[in-house]
């Protein structure tokens, strides 16, 4: 692993909290902690965008709104409206769930058209397209990536990491290798799903993964301080 500072490591992590059952005060504490630890972003439900933007203003941590989470099963025009709202109230990045049904049906033009609508609505903010690799064949991953790259998304992301799917598995090194191979520097790569410790993060960063989505950012930074910082 190339030598990383704690700040550089934190800036590779999208600290995620998509729990709809937390209280307002609990989210305030989450945003304050994330700001103090310099995570690249907080990936959050859109209803907390304005609150997060206020707390994170002037920090190194961006508001990353999760659009159409977790299923992605609303019309593209409604996703775009959700993006417009999030950007208006302070989102600096957008994570959106692609139309998985279109992928499984082979309707890749819908994937392209949706991505273009999302990008337009994001008004220059980085857009990450989430494709749920665990539910796709390699052929589907390749075809989907080509449409998303053609639409000029900023990142392609491996998974929502939503635990409500019966068959959802954790993100893997193989996911990262496949995405890096298919994307081939034409977009950035984000891996998410079960990334909980510093060793996993180091392996992914060494492969050239650009961003990692995790709800375990604090634990990962703790691991870095214990095992990597002075080595």
CA distance between the termini of the chain? 11
Residue 204 inside a domain? The answer is: yes
- Reading the chain (231 residues) residue by residue, the pLDDT tens digits are 568 999 999 999 999 999 999 999 999 999 999 999 999 999 999 999 999 999 999 999 999 999 999 999 999 999 999 999 999 999 999 999 999 999 999 999 999 999 999 999 999 999 999 999 999 999 999 999 999 999 999 999 999 999 888 888 889 999 999 999 999 999 999 999 999 999 999 999 999 999 999 999 999 999 999 987 766
Q: What is the CATH number of the domain that holds 146?
A: 3.20.20.70
Note the pLDDT tens digit of each residue in 128-176: 999 999 999 999 999 999 999 999 999 999 999 998 888 888 899 999 9
Cα distances from 71 to residues 59, 92, 117, 164, in angstroms, run: 31, 22, 18, 10
What's the pTM?
Answer: 0.96
3-state secondary structure of 100: helix
Cα distances from 218 to residues 28, 36, 148, 151, 200, in angstroms, run: 16, 11, 32, 34, 14
Residue 77 inside a domain? The answer is: yes
Would you list the DSSP string of 3-42? ---HHHHHTTEEEEE--TTS-HHHHHHHHHHHHHHT-SEE
Residue 1 inside a domain? The answer is: no
What are the φ and ψ backbone dihedral angles of 167, each rounded to 5 degrees? -100, 5
- Number of structural domains (the chain) is 1
Catalytic annotation, residues: 95, 157, 190
Q: What CA–CA distance (Å, rounded) separates 150 from 139?
A: 17
Domain residue limits at 144: 6-227
């Amino acid at each position: 692993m190339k030598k990383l500072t704690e700040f550089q490591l934190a800036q590779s992590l999208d600290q995620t909290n998509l729990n709809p059952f937390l209280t307002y005060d609990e989210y305030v504490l989450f945003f304050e902690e994330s700001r103090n630890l310099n995570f690249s972003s907080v990936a959050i439900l859109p209803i907390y965008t304005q609150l997060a933007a206020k707390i994170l203003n002037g920090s190194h941590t961006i508001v990353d709104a999760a659009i159409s989470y977790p299923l992605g099963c609303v019309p593209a025009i409604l996703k775009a409206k959700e993006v417009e709202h999030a950007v208006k109230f302070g989102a600096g990045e957008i994570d959106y769930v692609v139309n998985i049904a279109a992928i499984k049906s082979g309707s890749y033009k819908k994937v392209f058209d949706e991505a273009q609508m999302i990008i337009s609505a994001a008004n220059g903010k980085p857009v990450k397209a989430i494709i749920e690799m665990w539910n796709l064949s390699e052929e589907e991953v390749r075809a989907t990536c080509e449409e998303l790259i053609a639409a000029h998304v900023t990142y392609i992301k491996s998974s929502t990491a939503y635990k409500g799917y019966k068959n959802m598995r954790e993100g893997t090194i193989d996911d990262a290798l496949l995405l890096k191979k298919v994307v081939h520097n034409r977009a950035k790569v984000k891996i998410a799903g079960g990334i909980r410790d510093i060793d996993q993060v180091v392996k992914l960063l060494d492969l050239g993964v650009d961003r990692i989505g995790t709800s375990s950012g604090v634990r990962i930074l703790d691991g870095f301080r214990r095992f990597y910082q002075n080595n």
